Structures are given as structure tokens and as C-alpha cells.
Amino acid sequence: MEGDGGSEIKQWCLSQVKGAIDDDVTEADIISAVEFNHSGELLATGDRGGRIVIFQQEQESKTLAHSRGEYNVYSTFQSHEPEFDYLKSLEIEEKINKIRWLPQKNAAHFLLSTNDKTIKLWKISERDKRPEGYNLKEEDGRYKDPTSVTTLRVPVFQPMDLMVEASPRRVYANAHTYHINSISVNSDNETYLSADDLRINLWHLDFTDRSFNIVDIKPTNMEELTEVITASEFHPLQCNTFVYGSSKGSVRLCDMRAAALCDQHSKLFEEPEDPSARSFFSEIISSVSDVKFSHSGRYMMTRDYLTIKIWDLNMESQPVETYQVHEYLRSKLCSLYENDCIFDKFECCWSHDDSEVMTGSYNNFFRMFGRDGQAGVTLEASWESSSPRCPLRPWRVCAGSRRKEDEIGVDCLDFSRKILHTSWHPQDGIIAMATVNNLYIFQEKLN
């Protein structure tokens, strides 16, 4: 529908829900990573059990013109296994922390997946033909008796049922002492970075036995440690630029051309603290949980506990836009600290045209903000209260413990149901997000 997209409030509909519906959730099924690939055709999810499930979008249905294709399971494989570090006597979790797709170069798809210590490059390829007509082998593989062969023939490829194979092509191990929290593929399609709490390493995709350390904020004396790296990303267009966010709420932009070790930042994005709002929790809630460049490469979005901030890369002093995600939690910080929810790391994502941003919240709410001035909207990811192709109704959160139609009190929020991982289709109005063990896919309603 034509019209000024700015003033029109976009509507979202629940498209699909993946995963078990029952409340009994095993730890291993909890989704820990969600990522669309560069074309949006594939959607990968990683879980705490170290598995990756890839969904593929159906070709758009010709009959239903207003419906985008559905996502169906394409491939499932075990990416990481639990390990035991014998030297430290500690387990290494197999939980998938991040998944990043490589841009597609040929028929196969490649993705990087990482747990706390090891990054793996997976190749996902299809096989839909197989050779048939061997001279020396039967169809089932047994060898024929050579004396029974009387003629010769050339084997030909025959179609077969589609088989999707995932094979690990590279394993990048033993480069991180601390827990890896981010990976990011460079725009040059040859290198990528991996960031742990104190260091960032630069890898070449082809070499697994070496990586370059480009950022190291580990103090010589660990007693003086006060800040850690929380997120990192390469610039989408400039292959020499990357950013990393810290637990103190600052984001540093580094240029790899300046030095081999980029401890000296090129730019420091930090908003001065509001002294009137200072509390014991100020630092914790300022910790950057996610940083994402816009598709244009001009802006950068940071997510801290209560807000989303949009930064212009040319201005370091303050963000150009700030959106309150769940300001009503500010008075509950002490309780959230007690139950550890204050340490939850929410992700955020840009829309395909950078006009909107989205992030998750508690009670299976997620927030969408249009950057053209329209107020944010709170929507709920719930299969019970949504029907497909029916637009989601916005929620309001009020003080106290009221609960009525479209309004819920702060005290009624369920902090165990949270949406940490979100991803936006790179070219279309489709968003995917993970509640505890379900994957929700929403589509923008086409009018």
C-alpha cells in the first residue's frame, strides 16, 4: 500500500512458532543464537546443547500473493560438543554463543559458530544426485564378482532425495583464554574477528593454527581488572574498522591500519553519565550487551540494559537517538540484581532499510522502534494469544500489578521468559526471535 511509510504504523503478524510447545524445557533445548543468512533464505538457530538447526524459507507461494514463504527445517547437526579442560579442571560448555553466516560464493553455505572457546566453520551443502551404474559395485555397495561382469557402462548421476550435509571445514581452537562472546565476519570475506572478555583476535578463514591479537585489555595485574569486552563487530563496508563495547558502557572504534595492536582506540563513544540518576547499579545497566552497525555503515546501535542508543559514527560525544526499552524496570533494579536478571544480555537488530530497530525484553515482549519519530511499540511473542495473519496487539506496561486487556503491571511480568536473541531478515519484513525454547517468526503485514 502506498503511503508515507513514516506515519503508518507497521503491523506484525505471527507467522510461525518452532520448538516444543509444552512448558517442560530441557536445558539443552534453550535457544542461544538466532541468525538469518545474507539472503534471508536460511535461518540458523543454536542451542545450549551445541546443536544448530537451519530453517529454509519456502519459495514464495504463487497463490498466496501476500504471504511470504514459511521456514522449514533444512538441516540439523551437532556443532559443538561439551569438553573438559583438564588443566583447569573445568567444563567447557557446548552452548552456541554466536552464529555468523559467510556471504555465499557458490552453491554451498558456510557459517561460523562458536561456543566459549572454539570457533568452527561449517559447510552446508546439498546433495540431490548420486552416481548410479557402477561396474564393480552393486547398488547397495557390495562388490560384484568380477567374473560376472560382461559389459561396461558409464555411471550416470540420477536424482535422489535431497540430502543436506553439514561438515566442519575448519576448527579454530585454543586461541581464547576467556569466554568468546562475539564473532564477526569482515567485509573482505577472508578474515573474521573473535572477541572474548579481554582480547580480540583476527583470523584468516583458511588458517586455523594462527590468529592475530588485535585488542588486549587485560591488565598486567588482574586485581586491577574493572572492564571487560562485551561485544564486537566489523564495519559492514570498511574492512579495517571494527568496534567493541565494554562493560562500562563505552564503545571503541578501532582502525586496524593504525597499529597492529589496536589498544588505542580511534574513537570512543561514551555518553556522559547523568549524575542525578546515579546509583549503585549505574555501571551494570550501562554495560553494552550488543553493538550492531547499520546496513549503511553510517550508524551504530548499542544495547544496554534499559535503552537502545543509535550513534552516528562521526559523533562520539553522545548518541543521536535513545530509545527506552523498559524504563519501568529502573525502580526494580535491586530485585533484578538479586535474581541476576540485570546481567541478561539482550541483542538488538536493524531493519533491512535501517528505518527501524528491534530488541527483546521480559515477559516475552519485544520492542520495535521506528527511527522516524514514531513511538516504540511493545509486542508479545506468544503462540497462545496470537493467531497467524492476525496483527499483534500492542501492550502497555503500567505500574503496580494490574492486569487487563492490553495492559500489564510491572509486578506481573515474568522475568523468566525473556527474548534475548533476535534477528531481522536482511531484505524483508521478517523477524525471528527466540523465547526460552521456541523460535518465533513474525512477518510484517502486507496491506
Partner 1 sequence: MKPWPAVCPSNCSVRPLAPSPAQLAAWLQSQHTELSTFTHCNLAPSGRGAAPLIQHPASKHAYVAHHQRTEVTRVLGCHSCCRIDMFSKGTKRKFSDDGDEISDESLAGAQVSSSYSLQRQSLLDMSLIKLQLCHMLVEPNLCRSVLIANTVRQIQEEMTHDGTWQVVTETFCGGSQSPSERLVATEVLCRSREQDAEPKLFSVLSYEGCREEEVVTDETLCSVSVSDTASDVCLSESARHCWERDEFVEVDRDDEACESSRLGPGDDDDDDDNDDDEVDEEEESSRVDPKTMGQVFGTFEIKNSAPGPDSALEELFSDVDASYYDLDTMLTGIQSAPKMGPYDLLDSLAPSHGPPSIGSPSNCRSDLNELDHIMEIIVGS
Binding of partner 1 by 179 (CB under 8 A)? yes
Binding of partner 1 by 91 (CB under 8 A)? yes
Binding of partner 1 by 444 (CB under 8 A)? no
Binding of partner 1 by 143 (CB under 8 A)? no
Contact 254, 242 (CB under 8 A): yes
Binding of partner 1 by 227 (CB under 8 A)? yes
Binding of partner 1 by 221 (CB under 8 A)? yes
| Cα diameter, the chain | 93
Compute the distance between CA of residue 163 and CA of residue 70 in angstroms, rounded to an integer. Answer: 20
Eight-class DSSP state of 8: S
Handedness of CA 157, 41, 38, 182 (dihedral sign): negative
Q: Which of 1, 21, 65, 87 binds partner 1 (CB under 8 A)?
A: 87
Eight-class DSSP state of 188: T
Nearer to partner 1, 51 or 95 (CB): 95
Radius of gyration of the chain (CA): 24
Least Å from the CB of residue 84 to partner 1: 7
Nearer to partner 1, 84 or 157 (CB): 84
Binding of partner 1 by 24 (CB under 8 A)? no
Binding of partner 1 by 134 (CB under 8 A)? no
Compute the distance between CA of residue 239 and CA of residue 247 in angstroms, rounded to an integer. Answer: 25
Size of the site for partner 1 (CB under 8 A): 36
Q: Of residues 109-128, which lie at the interface with partner 1 (CB under 8 A)?
A: 116
Q: Which three cell numbers stand for residue 300?
A: 551504530
Least Å from the CB of residue 330 to partner 1: 16
Q: Of residues 228-247, which lie at the interface with partner 1 (CB under 8 A)?
A: 228, 230, 247
Return the half-sphere exposure (C-beta side, CA atoms, 13 A cut-off) of residue 350. Answer: 22
Q: Of residues 247-266, which lie at the interface with partner 1 (CB under 8 A)?
A: 247
Phi-psi category of 133—alpha, beta or left, where left has phi over 0 and alpha has psi -120 to 50? left
* DSSP helix/strand/coil, 440: strand
Q: Of residues 263-322, which lie at the interface with partner 1 (CB under 8 A)?
A: 280-281, 283-284, 287
The site for partner 1 (CB under 8 A) is made up of 84, 86-93, 116, 177-179, 181, 197-198, 221-228, 230, 247, 280-281, 283-284, 287, 334, 337-338, 340, 343
